Structure 1
Amino acid sequence: MEIQSRSPQAMSLLRHKTDKRSRTSRFFGLFSFKLLPKLTTGCKMVFMLGRPRSALFTGKFATGTLFGYRRGKVCLALQEDPTCFPMFMLELPMSTSALLKEMASGLVRIALECETRTHKKRLLEEMVWAVYCNGRKTGYSIKKKQISEEEETVMQMLRGVSMGAGVLPCQQQEKETADDELTYLRSRFERVIGSKDSEAFYMMNPDGNCGQELSIFFVRM
């Protein structure tokens, strides 16, 4: 596990302690700890991530985050690094609990397919995606043009985390139950460009090597 402290202006984010829950899911089997941010009661979260850049990903690596309430939908965010504004974010058409089950079973392959005839945009600038998980179509998603205040808060809370998995405090009082904890998985991904119409992101293990647990594929038909 690697935790990077970026800026003294960012909030004192994360203190981790051992999560004693049963590790029945590979979601927590990869990195087992629980992160508890230290927040000032009543304070408003200031969004301090960097602003969007003119180009999309330019490097060989990216930071990928999957997060969501257990009984809600799971979101996918891709950033150049944990301090940058997300360059790609969408809500997958599947619940967080369904993804946990898939990860508990072994390898997970998430494929996003875009059908377009113009091919004028960069691949990750496309808006509408058909989503497949381990070969099964789960539905359609639309890339977010703007992220919500709650999503901004999650990104800010994880600003100092480069790799890990855990549970974040609920942002809404009505969700403060064990079943509705906000879970997340963040890792570094190796970006492989096949062509202007295909890219893949392979999750890397803490030792820096590419793992086989999770891969994300983008394809334009």
Structure 2
Amino acid sequence: MAALAVSRFRSVLASAIARRQGRSPRVVGTLYGRRRGHFHLSFQLKPQMQPLMLLELPTATSDATLSINTRCGYAFRRECRPEDWKALRAVEKVSVGAGVLPATAGGDGLEGEVMYMRAMFERVVGSKDTEAFYMINPDGHGGPELSVFLLRE
């Protein structure tokens, strides 16, 4: 419960900072996961900072029929673990892009290849129980390529 309160506080603080600077809240979003694992979605104010929110998604990375616009389900919000930090640190210098991090040897919690996608997202708060993240298209044309809608129960 305390971890959820700290995570919520970070999210509210980031929104307040962005509003004070006169711009919409923009965050760095990283979607990543090990092959034959689950996707994780991290939102950070800056790539070097603790995630404002880290979600474990119900979608498996091995799902070959992944169609983002028909996917919904329960995501689990949790604190950043050492294996999450390892993945986020590995893509820290990437501003926008997608790729695969090579497999690592040893029992460091990040064995196997890690697929990732990183982009800037605009955060829109609908109410205390709803928020949305819209991926900002890097070329400035067209609408968002990916939208994430969150509803608290």
Aligned to 2:91: 158
Contact 1:187 1:203 in 2 (8 A): yes
Q: Does 1:190 align with 2:122?
A: yes
Between the aligned residues of both structures, percent identity stands at 41
Q: What letter matches 1:91 in structure 2?
A: E
Larger Rg: 1
Change in CA separation of 1:169 and 1:135 when aligned onto 2, cut-off 3 Å: closer
- Trace 1:13-24 onto structure 2 (pairs within 5 A): none
Provide the rounded CA distance (Å) in 2 between the counterparts of 1:160 and 1:91. Answer: 23
Q: Which runs of 4+ in 1 moved over 6 A?
A: none
Following superposition, the deviation at residue 169 of structure 1 comes to 1.6
User: Does the 8 Å contact 2:10/2:52 carry over to 1?
Assistant: no
Pairing partner for 2:38 from 73, 82, 86: 73
Corresponding residue for 1:101? Answer: 65
TM-score (norm 2): 0.74
Asked if 1:143 is matched to 2:73, the reply is: no
Greater RCO, 1 or 2 (C-alpha within 8 Å, sep 6+): 1
Tell me the SS of whatever aligns to 1:97.
Answer: coil
Q: What is aligned with 2:4? A: none
The alignment covers a number of residue pairs equal to 135
Question: Any idea what SS the aligned residue of 1:71 has?
Answer: coil
CA distance in 1, matches of 2:113, 2:54: 21
Q: Hey, which of these two has a bigger chunk of helix by percent? A: 2
**TM-score between both structures, scaled by the size of structure 1:** 0.53
CA distance in 1, matches of 2:49, 2:95: 12
Whether the 8 Å CA contact 1:193–1:200 is kept in 2: the answer is yes
Gaps of 5+ in 2: 1-6, 19-24
Contact 1:83/1:160 (<8 A) preserved:
no
Match runs of 1:1-221 below 5 Å: 55-56=10-11, 57-58=14-15, 59=18, 60-98=25-63, 101-103=65-67, 108-109=68-69, 134-137=70-73, 140-145=74-79, 147-172=80-105, 180-208=112-140, 211-221=143-153
CA distance in 1, matches of 2:48, 2:142: 22
